[in-house]
Structure 1
Amino acid sequence: MESQFENDFNHQLRRVRMPMLYYGGRRLVMSVQRRVSADCPYTMVTGIRRGDAHRFNKGIADMVWSAGVYLSTHIFTRYEGEATYYVVAVQQAVQSYKKRYISGPDAKWFAYLRRQDLKDVVSIYDAESFEVIKNIELDTVDAQDIVISPNGGFIAAYDVPLLYKVSVYRPDGTKEASFSVDDGGLGIKSVCWSPDSQFLAVGGYDNKLRLLDTFTWKPVSIFTHQTKYLDNPEQEILIEREVMSGAPHAGYDIRNGIQHIPRLRPDHDRPNPKTSVTAKFNNLGNLMLTTSETIPTTACIWNMATMKSHAIIVQQEPILTALWNPKISSLLAICCEGGRFYLWQDRRHGNHRSNVTAINIPAEKFSISNIRWSPDGKTLLLMSKDMFCLAWPIDS
């Protein structure tokens, strides 16, 4: 299965105005189609096989497919503080609440983060009856988001950017733990669970990622992105280079040891300085990807068994998105500005244990802005400002 990704990809282009595209369950693609102005969007849900489309005339600030089997064809949207629940089959809204930030762990229940009486509250709902099972009052000042562990046993909520604080609760309302850092800079940027729910990765604006274990809720490792931490002689640094001036294809120099990593010096006198770190685990949890705004062209891959750097990918352009394949643990798709995307594979290639393949898109003026894997990992959705492209492997 993995070797198929070494073949050329077959691309199909379709000129449509779809700036936001999301894969859903049962071969559905959800898009935001903007009409008149950015303040007046509507949602289009299209079946890949049938080609039919459903439209919901509702303003949208953000949207997400609900998780699980039962909710695989349902949509949550957020607009002007109101959360709306859509069922694609009947093309209508079922419930609407004045709440914020939505997350669904599985097919049995889902959670809403909302404000009530100037306090943060997580409401647990039954997925079939839509009745409230539990209301959990958080100890946060202004929670930014909630992240539910893959096993459904924990709910992590991180606080306002001025506070570096994450609180963890069980679905029954029991407070499990709270973790904070006094010198955490501008607070927490993102929170991510490992697939086995054993670790919680907390990325902050202090250019550090702290890995908490679920036994002590203390950092077992702190990942930084300074040059002195990139000196593992066993790791490989893959640096993109052009084969020749103006050539459409790219190649990579594979090096070991200390290398110069292009860095940006953040301006702390301006709002929202680029100093944050985010993390993503592969589906097995044995590899973790981190990206830092201070080294925007670099993707760092860490070995979770040793807690050491495994590989470093240095691109010529800033990395916009990098996503693990949901089924193939050793496959990572990388999106940079331009007319190509990249696939990193953690498999031996000659004398090297990993390799990166640059794949060009056969279309003029197609500049990738975002990517999405299909749930089965067999198709990659590539998006530009006014077009999208589907890429998949060709059988040998």
Structure 2
Amino acid sequence: MDFTEIYKQSGNLVSFSPGAHFIFNVVENTLIVRRTDTLQVTRTWTIAAPSITASILSKSKSTTSSSGATADGWISHAGWSCDSEYLLAASAKKGIVEVFKLRDETWNARIEAGAEGLLKAEWAPDGRHILCFSHWGLRVTIWSLVTGNATYIQFPIHPDRGYAFRSDSRYFVLAERHKSKDTIGVYDTTDLYRLVRHFPIPTSNISSLALSPTGNHIAVWEGILEYKLHIISLAGHLQRTFSPEPDPGFGIRNAAWHPTGMFLAVGGWDDKIHILDGLTWSAAATLELTSKVAAGATLWREPSNWLEATQGRGFLSYERLQGLQTISLQRTDPTKPNPKSGAVQLEWNKTGTLLLVRFDTCPTVVHLYDFPTPSDPFVPRLRCVLQHSKPVLHAQWNPVRKGSLALCCGSGSIYTWSDEWIGENGVEEDMAECIGVPTNTKFETRDIKWAPDGKGLVLLDKEMFCCAFEVEDGAES
């Protein structure tokens, strides 16, 4: 990989454009756009004045934070429109959203929140509407850049995990609470977000929802105290309620749809993954975490002290261990709040042939499970385990290639796994590598983000970032 220089950033707000030709980063209250081929700055914008309501409220406060008033006004949310034509930069403390046009530096639009405040702002999939979530779950406002008008929807439950757009962007699905009851609202995005369906759901306290890739079903599940997942059609009909036997005692932590919508992976706090099939919505397979790595799987282990040996400027293959191996698991106390157990991450690769699982019980380990194609018998199996010296902070599949994974552990390096390596006999093989980030300053990779074309990565430290781009050669497919 080739690495760029180190640049400043704040709030982890760094993102490639959808076409991967530009990249923006935020430094306090300034939005900076660069070209990805040269990393030269092409545009800068600064957010200054807060909304009128925010100004009045700030004057009424008698105290200020230790970080100072300037930190309160920093940009808290930023993003590209789907066509890379527009960018938004929002300051939740200032109660404003500024919209800029990449090819016209003088063009600008501004959204000011009222007394309800601003919690979060993001683009709708069409790149011409902006969703603004208010404080206290009062409402979500959809602003149109085309007409300048707004649509208001009351009482959204979770601004971070309680809504979804169908894959064709036609419908917006929102979890709401009316009269102390959980409900789902379905809105037509092509008709000014007109309400087309509104129905109650059987949850008492919905934790999250996930819309299937086909857009036909919604998975909703309860909070931590009850292991119940409900499959509901987009028309509002309950298809099935899944609850394993015996009751594990805690609820669902994560759920992830297979890219085809044929399966749903469900993980609780009991270190088990249930794979539900899309016909009966019952468990077709159950994957359970154990300390033993079966003989048919590969254990890839990070070499000890490799960063010191290479002085952070090289790359080294993981140690490859085959045969029966063991990994250490942490003991958890279920009587204490927020137990360190369960599936902290479930993520399918692009084709759905691999499932990545990270368990809180073994924070330094990543499990990769093989899933058969539709023509093969359905027998998922553990393919390999990646073991590290420090806890894994983030892991992400390549958005384009089926078998390419990157992860980070808060060290001066990144880690990659791929099943596309061409071996000496001309056959694709697995390969896992540790790659140091070459820099003269201390840089700890705490987060990673793939470019949309899958050819580069953003590496993020607390207040810095750099980019890494793959070097194309004959071995790459």
* TM-score between the two structures when normalised by the length of structure 2: 0.72
- Select 1:319's aligned residue among 385, 392, 413: 392
C-alpha contact (below 8 Å) 1:193/1:200 kept by paired residues: yes
* Corresponding residue of 2:7: 14
- Select 2:466's aligned residue among 381, 386, 389: 389
Amino acid at match of 1:370: D
Of residues 117-126 and 245-254 in structure 1, the stretch that sits farther from structure 2 once superposed is 245-254
Q: 1:61 offset after TM fit, Å?
A: 5.1
C-alpha contact (below 8 Å) 2:409/2:445 kept by paired residues: yes
Q: Distance in 1 between matches of 2:234 and 2:27?
A: 32
Q: Distance in 2 between matches of 1:327 and 1:381?
A: 16
- Select 1:105's aligned residue among 159, 163, 166: 166
C-alpha contact (below 8 Å) 1:12/1:391 kept by paired residues: no
Q: How do 1:352-363 residues align onto structure 2 when only pairs under 5 Å count?
A: 353-363=429-439
Amino acid at match of 2:4: H
Q: Distance in 2 between matches of 1:84 and 1:29?
A: 26
Structure 2 regions of 5+ residues with no counterpart? 30-67, 94-117, 373-378
- Select 2:308's aligned residue among 246, 249, 261: 246
Q: How do 1:112-123 residues align onto structure 2 when only pairs under 5 Å count?
A: 112-123=174-185
* Corresponding residue of 2:188: 126
Q: CA offsets per residue over residues 61-103 of structure 1, 9 Å max, x none? A: 5565544xx2487455464324545669679884444313221
Q: Distance in 1 between matches of 2:201 and 2:189?
A: 22
Percent identity, please.
Answer: 24
Of residues 236-245 and 329-338 in structure 1, the stretch that sits farther from structure 2 once superposed is 236-245
* Corresponding residue of 1:223: 287
- Select 1:370's aligned residue among 428, 447, 455: 447
Label 1:111 to 1:46 Cα distance change in 2 as closer, same or farther (>3 A).
Answer: closer
Label 1:113 to 1:53 Cα distance change in 2 as closer, same or farther (>3 A).
Answer: closer
Q: Distance in 2 between matches of 1:54 and 1:118?
A: 34
Whether 1:147 and 2:210 are equivalent positions in the alignment is yes
Q: 1:119 offset after TM fit, Å?
A: 0.9
Q: CA offsets per residue over residues 36-68 of structure 1, 9 Å max, x none? A: 48876644536699998643333565565544x
Q: Distance in 2 between matches of 1:165 and 1:242?
A: 42
Whether 1:330 and 2:403 are equivalent positions in the alignment is yes
Label 1:130 to 1:388 Cα distance change in 2 as closer, same or farther (>3 A).
Answer: same
* Corresponding residue of 2:346: 279
3-state SS in 2 of match to 1:354: strand
Q: 1:137 offset after TM fit, Å?
A: 0.9
Amino acid at match of 1:236: T
C-alpha contact (below 8 Å) 1:165/1:178 kept by paired residues: yes
Q: Distance in 1 between matches of 2:460 and 2:134?
A: 22
Question: Which has the larger Rg?
Answer: 2
3-state SS in 2 of match to 1:265: coil
RMSD value, Cα: 3.2
Q: Distance in 2 between matches of 1:102 and 1:115?
A: 13
Label 1:205 to 1:390 Cα distance change in 2 as closer, same or farther (>3 A).
Answer: same
Q: CA offsets per residue over residues 194-225 of structure 1, 9 Å max, x none? A: 00000010010011110000111111111111
Q: Distance in 2 between matches of 1:131 and 1:137?
A: 18
* Corresponding residue of 1:138: 201
* TM-score between the two structures when normalised by the length of structure 1: 0.86
* Corresponding residue of 1:173: 236
Q: CA offsets per residue over residues 128-154 of structure 1, 9 Å max, x none? A: 311111012100010011100011111
C-alpha contact (below 8 Å) 2:217/2:231 kept by paired residues: yes
3-state SS in 2 of match to 1:343: strand
Q: CA offsets per residue over residues 310-360 of structure 1, 9 Å max, x none? A: 111111111111111111011011111111111110135648931112222
- Select 2:258's aligned residue among 171, 194, 198: 194
* Corresponding residue of 1:295: 362
Q: Distance in 2 between matches of 1:271 and 1:193?
A: 28
Label 1:312 to 1:385 Cα distance change in 2 as closer, same or farther (>3 A).
Answer: same
Aligned residues: 385
C-alpha contact (below 8 Å) 1:125/1:133 kept by paired residues: yes
* Corresponding residue of 1:209: 273
Structure 1 regions of 5+ residues with no counterpart? 1-7
3-state SS in 2 of match to 1:234: coil
Whether 1:308 and 2:308 are equivalent positions in the alignment is no
* Corresponding residue of 2:325: 259
Q: Distance in 1 between matches of 2:143 and 2:5?
A: 29
Amino acid at match of 2:456: T
* Higher normalized contact order (CA 8 Å, seq sep 6+, divided by chain length): 1
Q: How do 1:58-73 residues align onto structure 2 when only pairs under 5 Å count?
A: 58-59=92-93, 65-67=123-125, 70-71=126-127
Label 1:145 to 1:46 Cα distance change in 2 as closer, same or farther (>3 A).
Answer: closer
* Corresponding residue of 1:161: 224
Of residues 77-86 and 313-322 in structure 1, the stretch that sits farther from structure 2 once superposed is 77-86
Q: Distance in 1 between matches of 2:404 and 2:462?
A: 26
C-alpha contact (below 8 Å) 2:3/2:438 kept by paired residues: no
Q: Distance in 1 between matches of 2:382 and 2:128?
A: 36
* Corresponding residue of 2:40: none
